A = this chain, B = another copy of it.
Amino acid sequence: MGLIVQKYGGSSVADTDRVKRVAERIVRRKRAGNQIVAVVSALGDTTDELIELAKKITDDPPKREYDMLISTGEQVSVSLLAMAINELGEDVISLTGSQIGIITNDLHAKAKILKVNPERLEQELTQDKIVIVAGFQGVTFDNEITTLGRGGSDTTGVAVATALGADLCEIYTDVDGVYTADPRVVKSACKLNEVSYEEMLEFASLGAEVLHPRSVEIAKEYGIEMVVKSSFYCCPGTYIKEVGELEKDIVVTGVTCNGDTVKLSLIGVPDEPGIASRIFTGLAEDGINVDMIIQNVDYDGLNDITFTIDKEDLDHAKINLKGLQGELGYTELIYDTEVTKVSIVGAGMVTNPGVAAKMFEALADEDINIDLISTSEIKVSCLINEERADQAVKVIHDKFNLERLCDSNV
């Protein structure tokens, strides 16, 4: 019994039959005595189809018009889901981001939610209606339609849960939870019953595509309990919540990898103060996220600066850095797209020395060369050749004996 915010991804509503099944699930939960708000993505491949349509007009659409276009996908899915729920005899209303007042900044195509007005939502809930919310979209203070970028519906779900003070935010997806490793790669991988916000944040950032990192950030900040579960099976899923100190004795919770990464090196950068700042400020101004960075002194007072970015940002980054060549005075820009970042995550790592060394040892045992390393309190990441990625994940999973976590799941 409580106020539950559910989020259904595109695969959960891929066609009208699946829409009907989601409607049945929602109505069951409602009739069990809960208040339900469901956040919905666009039907299946709708968003990609709309993007294809735009490409027939131009390769470079104005982002404001791009958002006008692709935000229609969620408006279609919410109205269809509302029709299906109405057909089952429950009072229901669908709402767009604009109608609710999901206020975002004006960074079209990757806007950030600033706030969610609870008034309209609460008004409909008070009338005992099921409320269906268009995910992935918002509106600026000037009433311009925005979208949140890939994975944005997760963020909508958590932001709506936060605005309403919901008891739980359920994320329905095509996997049945968070695993110690990708089960397609590691046969002995285990589904985790629960992970901490911090661990989930690292998992999400490091390539586990279960949840969008931004949604976990918000859930952590406002203490919203989340659960990731399958929309096709009735498994209990994985809870994401504040985990007590005692439970942090699991040093490593999982191993994950991300191949959407590319390594760039600027060769022969003059060793002067402010150079690195100039490089990375320039990239940030273009909205390019830089991940791992190392700098090593070369010869004659020249440095090599190496860093990784998302593959999709490579073209932009090359243009950006070529433009700075005169100012920075580097001799060469080289890049390598055939790399993968393999990471281990675990809240207990911070109090357990030697975890990183154990990971390096696992890789060394298999002659897997490490290109770059970065660490945080709860994760260690190594950049390696992408051809060795699956093998690396397997040996690390073995090294930390992660299959033992399966028992704790039973």
Contact = CB atoms under 8 A, between A and B. Distances in A.
Contacts of A169: none
A2 to B, nearest CB: 26
B72 A58 contact: no
B79 A69 contact: yes
A50 interface: yes
Interface stretch (A80-88, A329-337, A380-388): A80-88
Query: A interface, how many residues as a size bin?
Result: 35 or more
Contacts of A53: 16, 76, 80
B57 A19 contact: yes
B68 A78 contact: yes
Interface in A48-83: 50, 53-54, 56-58, 61-62, 64-66, 68-69, 71-72, 75-76, 78-80, 82-83
Nearest to A99: B143
A222 to B, nearest CB: 27
Contacts of A143: 98-99
B86 A79 contact: no
A259 to B, nearest CB: 32
A379 interface: no
Contacts of A54: 79-80, 83
A238 B80 CA distance: 41
A288 to B, nearest CB: 24
Interface string A91-119: 00110101100000000000000000000
B68 A75 contact: yes
Given A57-B84, A65-B82, A69-B75, 6 more contacts: A16-B56, A57-B83, A58-B83, A62-B86, A66-B79, A69-B80
Interface of A: 16, 19-20, 50, 53-54, 56-58, 61-62, 64-66, 68-69, 71-72, 75-76, 78-80, 82-84, 86-87, 93-94, 96, 98-99, 143-145
